[in-house]
Structure 1
Amino acid sequence: MDSAVARERALDAAERLFYGRGVQSVGMDDIRGASGVSLKRLYQLFPAKEELVVACLERRDVRWRQRLAAHVERQGDARERLLAVFDWLETWFGEADFRGCAWINVYGELGATSERVVARVRDHKQAFRDCLAGLVAGAGLDAALTGPLFLLAEGAMVTAGITGSTAPAAEARAAAEVLLRAG
C-alpha cells in the first residue's frame, strides 16, 4: 500500500473513530485495526496522535465548507442564501452519524492541551464566520448581523449535538428571519 492510500485510510478511520467516540478514547491501535494500516506506517505518516487529529480537522474542514457552499449557492436570492445556511444545518443534523460539531467536540477534549488543535478549531470557526459575513454583504445587509447569525448557527450546532434533534436548526432559522427583517 503506497503512502497516499495509507494516509487516506488512516484519516478515514481516525475521523470516523474520533467523531464517533472522542479523540481521547481512541488509541493508535484502534486506528490501525480500523484502517488496516500497520502501526509502523501510521507512525511514519503521523509521528504523534496530535498530528493525526490536526490532519483530520483540516480535511474535514475542506469537505464541510464545500458542502455548505454547494447548498447555499443553489439559492438565487441573496437573503435566501443566508437562510439556506440554516437549512443545510438541519440536513447535517439529521445525518445518522451526527454527533455535533467535530471542532467543538475536539476543542472540548484537547483545547487546554494542544495549541495546534486550538488553531485549527479557530481557523474553522473564523472561516465559517467569514462565509456568513460574505453572505450578509452579498445581501446588502448591515455587517453587524454577522455576529448574531454566527451565534445562532453555532448555538444550533451545540444544541443539536446534545439533544440529537434537528429542531435547533429550524429554531435558529426562524430567529435569523427575524434578524433579517429587522436588518
Structure 2
Amino acid sequence: MRAAVLQDIRDIRVLDIPEPKPLAEDELIIRVKAVGVCGSDLHSYLEGGTTGPTQVRPFVLGHEFSGVLTPDSARKAGFSADALVAVDPSIPCGRCEWCHRGHTNLCPNVKFLGYAPHNGAMAEFVCVPRSAVHLVPDSIDPAGGGDPGDAWRRDPCDGSGAPAASGKRGRARLRAGGIAARATGAACR
C-alpha cells in the first residue's frame, strides 16, 4: 500500500509499505478516507517530535482520521461495509494498574497511532482494536469542511453565524475529536 512515511526531519516520502494485518482477534482494518494534519504532525516533520529536535526512525504520521472498515472487519464489528468510522488514536495497554482502575488516559504504556514508533493513518489502510473504533453518523462527510479549531458553527445563507432562521436551510460544520467534517442539511437556494 502507499503511505506518507516520515524518513527524517523535513523528509516525508510516499512509499510502498506492507498492508497492516490484524495481530489480535479484536483488531480491524480501516480503509482511510481522510486525515487531518495536527500540530504534533508538524512538530514531528520539523523537529522529529513534540519534545524538540530528535532523531527520527521512519514511521507513518496521522492520528486524526476517518475511514471505512474493510468488508471482513465490518462483518466482525457488526457494522455495514460502507459505515464511516472515526478512531481514537490513543490505545491503552489494558494490563497496567491504571487501565484496571478504569483510568486508561493515565496508561504509561499507551500506544499512540501516528506518533513514533507507531504508524498512523497517512496510508491507505490502518489496523486498530475494535475498542478504538466509533461509528460516525451518516450525515457527516469524512473529509468535509470546517475551519481548524471550530467546535460547532451554523453557517446559514445570510452569513450571520446564527442558527438558520425558519424557512432558511444552511450548512452545519463540525470539528469533533480531531475530525473535520461537514453535516449538510440542504444547499441554500
TM tier, shorter chain?
under 0.3
* Greater helix fraction, Structure 1 or Structure 2: 1
* Greater strand fraction, Structure 1 or Structure 2: 2
